[in-house]
Amino acid sequence: MTSLPPSESSTSQELILQGAQLLREGKLVVFPTETVYGLGADASNPDAIAHLYQAKGRPNDHPVIVHIGDLEVLHQWAVNIPLIAYSLAEAFWPGPMTLILPKASHVPLAVTGGQDTVGIRMPAHPVAMDLLQAFGGGIAAPSANRFGRLSPTRVEDLDPKLLAQVGAVLDGGPCQVGIESTIIDCSRITPSNPAPVILRPGMILQPEIEELLGMCIHTRESEETVSHTRVSGDLPSHYAPLTPLELIDSEQFPQHVITLLNEEQALGVLAFSPLASNELPANCHWVLAPEEPKPYAQTLYKALQYLDTRSCDRIVVERPPQSPEWAGVNDRLTRAAAEKGEH
Ligand code: TXA
Ligand code: MG
């Protein structure tokens, strides 16, 4: 495995070409996107996709997103593309949005988890764009974590078991968005049902999408018809640290933490304010969370990864506000807090 060094050098054409060549050979390449790191494989090579599923430890009926470098090639991957999808793509690509569309016939079922739809995204990170350009095809890429675990937003957070399976890692520094793309299902749009559905909230927000399209749109919670679609983010305990995590409302938060500390529990804490008493016990790791949703999302997985490796009995997180700007963050925290037994 080659580990390619960060920033200026990672964008050097030689390293990008090396990554593209490995993809052509059916190998896996970890690359940065603006959301999280992706584990990339040639989307038109079923053997490479099989390797990708095995490296990730992912059940093979869960679809992966195809990353493209140019809107011009969208029609090579999807058919019956509604105008709404083009409006979304023009407004938000390259960027943290994935569109679900009816798949073109040649798209391997291995990519779509056996479904008749495909997820497509054009990422905004310059290294991802250069890699797509050099490769020339679509890159299938789930987040570069083992199935069910936290998505990596820094090369330091990549799992050694996963790294052992990849041909190269392109280091693009810390991801700027920090949580996975907003997924919008445009595959079921009809004249009588013209609105797309948000399957996974992210940092492209519902009000922004509604304003662009001039219509109210649904989220997965309010939409029963999409319940057949397999979205691995659907699983309650997705995006989870290994340490049990609790999400606690702000009003109860200070007292809850004090109770746990009095019980001498080893605690990891992600909170909007510091501990009221000035002494932090040695068995308590306290991460102060940014108050704005963008920097919070940007650092969320890094914070959880840090707390998860402190040997704590549990991680307690102060629940963020419930407004639309926090929808993506709240979705990931709720899943991280879900019982592992429901997996
Ligand atoms: O920001 C992102 O989307 C990152 C970066 C690497 O692009 N990728 C990512 O991939 O989060 P992954 O595989 O970890 O999550 C993709 C989600 C999964 O929940 C998957 O089930 C869903 O997208 N998905 C993919 N294709 C789909 C389809 N055809 N129908 C419904 N859901 C789909
Ligand atoms: Mg993922």
Give per-residue pLDDT as tens, 122-131: 999 999 999 9
Q: Is the CB of 231 under 6 A from ligand 1?
A: yes
For residue 72, what pLDDT is reported? Answer: 96
| pLDDT, greater one: 193 or 42 | 42
CA-based end-to-end distance of the chain: 32
* pTM confidence score: 0.93
| pLDDT, greater one: 61 or 315 | 315
For residue 248, what pLDDT is reported? Answer: 98
Q: Is the CB of 229 under 6 A from ligand 1?
A: yes
For residue 342, what pLDDT is reported? Answer: 39
Residue nearest atom 12 of ligand 1, based on CA coordinates = 142
Give per-residue pLDDT as tens, 215-268: 999 888 655 444 444 555 555 556 789 999 999 999 999 999 999 999 989 999
For residue 281, what pLDDT is reported? Answer: 87
Give per-residue pLDDT as tens, 297-328: 999 999 999 999 999 999 999 999 999 999 99
- Cα-to-centroid distance, 58 and ligand 2 (Å): 10
Q: Is the CB of 131 under 6 A from ligand 1?
A: no
Q: Residue 77 above 60 pLDDT?
A: yes
Give per-residue pLDDT as tens, 137-152: 999 999 999 998 999 9
Percent of the chain predicted with pLDDT > 70: 90
Q: Is the CB of 121 under 6 A from ligand 1?
A: yes
In which band, very low, low, confident or very high, does the pLDDT at 168 lie, cut at 50, 70 and 90?
A: very high
In which band, very low, low, confident or very high, does the pLDDT at 275 lie, cut at 50, 70 and 90?
A: confident
